[in-house]
């Protein structure tokens, strides 16, 4: 069994399954996306030479029957699934809990059929399904400083916990596709020059910038959405030009990777680094 929900940008939802007037009759586009293979041919050799490859956009076609209250149920679909507008599809089965974002191309009902049906055409520029929950790892740890039951007459400052920076953290990728990452770097004091590295491949990202207490740098490495921004005193600034030479836009390979960090000046314990990602899947 599976559950499927469409949600528009206003949060309105169209739900399929028991207790709803909609029964799915056809669904295409849940398979892994097609690939475009770029090659060169030479008149002097057999065959050709591989240059590159890419996954194509995902095109989905969903047809469903309206079981009762045909007019009201059809108008409800129009209200939620609107041509040219963004739509998010949630899909849940025994093994998967995922979603994908797309845009509505067409909403096509059969008005005069004995049992009315509606077909939806949806185009997804990013072809991969994402895990329903964002996965968060942190390059820091809070160690408890005391335990309950507790009583004290000590007038000195009491420490509930001590934040310690971790040298490295394993980030797991249980999806089927290499995933982009979001690094959120928060400074508790002045720190200059931050380098985040994949401890296994030695690939790194260096940010040649001086952070002040309270600064937040956000790095996004996903294809088509690469960015480096600074949030200081409530104002967001693009600091893309502070990316160091020979830096690599770090990605998360299938299976996972170990990430570590270092600073050029200041204390590495004055940084809190949060690593976020979604596991990606090619098909259902």
Show pLDDT as tens, one digit a residue, over the chain (284 residues).
778 999 999 999 999 877 889 999 999 999 999 999 999 988 878 888 899 999 999 999 999 999 888 889 999 999 999 999 999 999 999 899 999 999 999 999 988 777 889 999 999 999 999 999 999 999 865 445 555 555 555 565 555 544 555 678 999 999 999 999 999 999 999 999 999 999 999 999 999 999 999 999 999 999 889 999 999 999 999 999 999 999 999 999 999 999 999 999 998 889 999 999 999 999 98
Residue 17: predicted pLDDT = 76
Let me know whether 11 and 35 are in one domain.
yes
Let me know whether 270 and 146 are in one domain.
yes
Out of 102, 127, 152, pick the residue that ends a domain.
127
Let me know whether 171 and 123 are in one domain.
no
Query: Domain with 52 in it: what CATH number?
Result: 2.40.30.200
Alpha helices (H) in the chain, listed in sequence order: 70-80
Let me know whether 118 and 254 are in one domain.
no
- Strand, coil or helix: 80: helix
Number of domains in the chain: 2
Let me know whether 159 and 122 are in one domain.
no
Q: Do residues 180 and 130 touch, judged by C-beta distance below 8 A?
A: no
Out of 61, 95, 127, pick the residue that ends a domain.
127
Residue 142: predicted pLDDT = 47
Let me know whether 155 and 114 are in one domain.
no
Out of 127, 160, 186, pick the residue that ends a domain.
127
- Compute the distance between CA of residue 263 and CA of residue 16 in angstroms, rounded to an integer: 51
Domain limits at 26? Answer: 3-41+48-127
Let me know whether 169 and 265 are in one domain.
yes
**Kind of pairing between the strands at 191-198 and 182-187:** unpaired
- How much is the pTM? 0.84
Nearest to residue 82, comparing CAs of 107, 63, 99?
107
Let me know whether 160 and 53 are in one domain.
no
Let me know whether 151 and 276 are in one domain.
yes
Residue 91: predicted pLDDT = 93
Residue 92: predicted pLDDT = 92
Residue 217: predicted pLDDT = 98
Let me know whether 160 and 242 are in one domain.
yes
Query: Domain with 228 in it: what CATH number?
Result: 2.60.120.860
- Compute the distance between CA of residue 21 and CA of residue 118 in angstroms, rounded to an integer: 12
Residue 42: predicted pLDDT = 81
Let me know whether 75 and 213 are in one domain.
no
Residue 169: predicted pLDDT = 92
Q: Which residue has the tokens 């005391």?
A: 146
- What's the per-residue H, E or C state across 158-219? CCCEEEECCCEEEECCCCCECECCEEEEEECCCEEEEEEEECCCCCEEEEEEEECCCCEEEE
Let me know whether 72 and 199 are in one domain.
no
Residue 224: predicted pLDDT = 86
């Amino acid at each position: 069994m599976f559950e499927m929900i469409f949600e528009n940008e206003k949060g309105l939802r169209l739900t399929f399954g028991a207790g709803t007037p909609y029964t799915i009759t056809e669904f295409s586009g849940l398979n892994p996306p097609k690939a475009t293979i770029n090659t060169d041919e030479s008149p002097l050799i057999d065959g050709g030479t591989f240059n590159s490859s890419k996954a194509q956009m995902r095109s989905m076609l969903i047809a469903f029957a309206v079981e009762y209250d045909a007019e009201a149920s059809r108008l409800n679909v129009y209200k939620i699934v609107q041509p040219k507008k963004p739509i998010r599809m949630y899909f849940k089965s025994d093994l998967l809990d995922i979603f994908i974002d797309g845009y509505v191309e067409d909403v096509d009902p059969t008005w005069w059929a004995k049992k009315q049906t509606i077909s939806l055409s949806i185009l997804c520029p990013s072809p991969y399904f994402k895990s329903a929950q964002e996965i968060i790892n942190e390059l820091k740890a809070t160690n408890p400083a005391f335990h309950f039951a507790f009583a004290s007459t000590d007038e000195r400052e009491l420490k509930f916990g001590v934040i310690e920076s971790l040298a490295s953290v394993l980030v797991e990728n249980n999806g089927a596709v290499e995933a982009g990452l979001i690094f959120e770097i928060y400074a508790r004091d002045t720190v200059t020059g931050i380098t985040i590295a994949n401890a296994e491949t030695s690939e790194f990202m260096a940010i040649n910038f001086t952070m002040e207490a309270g600064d937040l740098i956000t790095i996004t490495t996903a294809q088509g959405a690469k960015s480096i921004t600074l949030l200081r005193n409530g104002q967001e600034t693009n600091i893309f030009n502070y990316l160091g030479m020979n830096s690599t836009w770090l990605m998360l390979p299938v299976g996972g990777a170990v990430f570590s960090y270092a600073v050029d000046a200041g204390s590495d314990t004055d940084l809190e680094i949060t690593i976020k990602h979604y596991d990606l899947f090619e098909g259902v």
